[in-house]
Amino acid sequence: MTATNMAEARGLHAALRDFFTRYVHASPDFRALGRVLTLCETAVRTVDDAYCREKLRVAAEYAAELLSQRDRAKWGHDSASGAEFLRQQILNALELYASRLYSLDALRESQAVKEKLKWMTPSSIAQS
């Protein structure tokens, strides 16, 4: 994974997180659902990682429930609490996705340092 991919993945995460942080319970919004699903699909293509794919799949499934149905009572005691439950599940999945991105980025950076050090001789390290 490149630094460019990581930056794009973080941007997609921020867009999804911001949408669901500001989301107000409303009637079905299929246009917003389309945008959310497009962001999730783009993020899946950006990061080649099974854990990230799973968390984005979970977020997309809950988003489909949240944004496409008027009655969310099966997710809570009433429609409003059901919507809040779905929103929290989406935000939780996105937080786990962000955490994994952080781990993948740290791993990528450590591998880059290891590659750089592999080609250094003891004398060139001492001169640094």
Give tens-digit pLDDT for 68-87.
887 666 776 665 688 889 99
Query: Are the C-beta atoms of 66 and 72 separated by less than 8 Å?
Result: yes
CA-wise closest residue to 25 among 75, 65, 66: 66
Domain that holds residue 79: 3-127
Q: How many residues does the chain have?
A: 128
Helices 3-22 and 79-118 cross at an angle (nearest 10°) of: 160
What total of structural domains would you count in the chain? 1
> pLDDT tens across 25-77, in order?
778 899 999 999 999 999 999 999 999 999 999 999 999 999 988 766 677 66
